[in-house]
Copies of this chain bind each other. A is one copy, B any other.
Amino acid sequence: MKRRDFIKKASTGALATGAITLGGKAFAAEPEFKWKMVTTWPKNFPVLGTNANYLTKTIEQMSGGRIRIKVYGAKELVPAFEAFDAVSRGTAQMGHGAAFYWKGKSEATQFFAAIPFGMTAQEVNGWLYHGGGMTLWEELYGRFNLIPTAIGNSGVQMAGWFRKEINSVDDLKGLKMRIPGLGGEVLKRAGGTPVSLPGGEIFTSLQSGAIDATEWVGPYNDLAFGLYKAAKNYYYPGWHEPGTVVETFINKSAFAALPKDLQAIVKHACKDANMDMISEFTAKNNTALNTLVKKHGVKLKPLPDDVLKKLHALSNKVVQEIAEKDAFSSKVYASYSSYQKQVMPWSEVSEYAFMRARKL
């Protein structure tokens, strides 16, 4: 490349190596690519929001500053639930959320977020990266000019906070619970009343008795939210969200405009962030659980077996109905459920059998 071309390309922004490093020290060049990331969480929301910061910082560091991504919390640029459309049309280049928020686009999105009585984090990542899941997800989001991928997982969540004890299936009848999505639909079929509430209203509604129960995430987020002050019974396991995938979606044209090395950086930074989030949740949930039980006197209780069995049977129906919505949802359901059917016997003799052996 001639110097004249070098300068010309640099000035038009077409020279892809924006950061020139000398002796290992990068000097702050203006980034070649300035992206915006819209998120469905409040800015810096613990783990879910901070993961967006971690991800964008990783991308910036690996690219030597050639790509810089500014993170916008929910409502800062667009409202939370407009993030998908905003990235689809290019208002922002990247989004950070969870696929079940977009079920209005396709019911199939839910398989890429959380399925009641579905797969755990380790299982679902096997499906996504090595079981055909990612290809289906790309096909689905591709229709909306988006490229999706996983950037985190919550692990098994908690069933939630309940003002009264749940001792039988009958106790679900008439239960007013803040529980969104498929879990809410399952509760409805069990005789309960799922309530939709914005995050900011959950605590006061539970405290006043306007609702009888709420699910949120897991010990770390629940502790920060102070939910233990409003209800003392903390039930497990989170049958409705056993390994919720947290996602990013990237504007296809913006991604295509990146040179191949930056494309690889963005792609692999997401997989790194996926490993980071489940590790962070695991580390922080265990400390928070300890605090909740030992310091705040929270009563940790398992949902009774007959309640779980009932919820499981209802969940199977609810999930199967997604498959009946359209041909593509049916295809994703088939892939997800056949993978789950096969991975469960393996999890049973590996992770489950070991954890059982360890506590004998």
- Is the Cβ of B64 less than 8 Å from the Cβ of A357? no
Stretch from A140-148, A181-189, A284-292, A322-330 that touches the partner: A284-292
CA distance A309 to B260 in the complex (A): 53
- Is the Cβ of A130 less than 8 Å from the Cβ of B26? no
- Is the Cβ of B352 less than 8 Å from the Cβ of A283? no
- Is the Cβ of A290 less than 8 Å from the Cβ of B342? yes
Given the complex, which residues of B lie within 8 Å of A261, measured CB to CB? 19, 21, 26, 61-65
- Is the Cβ of B343 less than 8 Å from the Cβ of A286? yes
Q: How many residues of A contact B (CB 8 A)?
A: 98
- Is the Cβ of A264 less than 8 Å from the Cβ of B17? no
- Is the Cβ of A14 less than 8 Å from the Cβ of B22? yes
The answer, yes or no, to whether A300 is at the interface (CB within 8 Å) is yes
Within the oligomer, what is the number of copies of this chain?
2
The residues of A with any CB-CB pair to B shorter than 8 Å are 1, 3, 6, 9, 14-17, 19-26, 58, 61-65, 117, 120-123, 125-131, 155-158, 218-219, 236-239, 242, 256-261, 264-265, 268-269, 271-272, 274-276, 278-287, 289-290, 300, 302-303, 305, 308-309, 312, 342-360
25 inter-chain pairs at a CB distance below 8 angstroms, sorted by A residue, are A14-B23, A15-B22, A24-B258, A62-B264, A64-B260, A122-B278, A125-B279, A126-B280, A126-B282, A126-B286, A128-B279, A129-B275, A129-B279, A155-B350, A156-B350, A158-B350, A218-B350, A268-B269, A269-B272, A274-B275, A286-B346, A302-B353, A308-B360, A309-B360, A352-B352
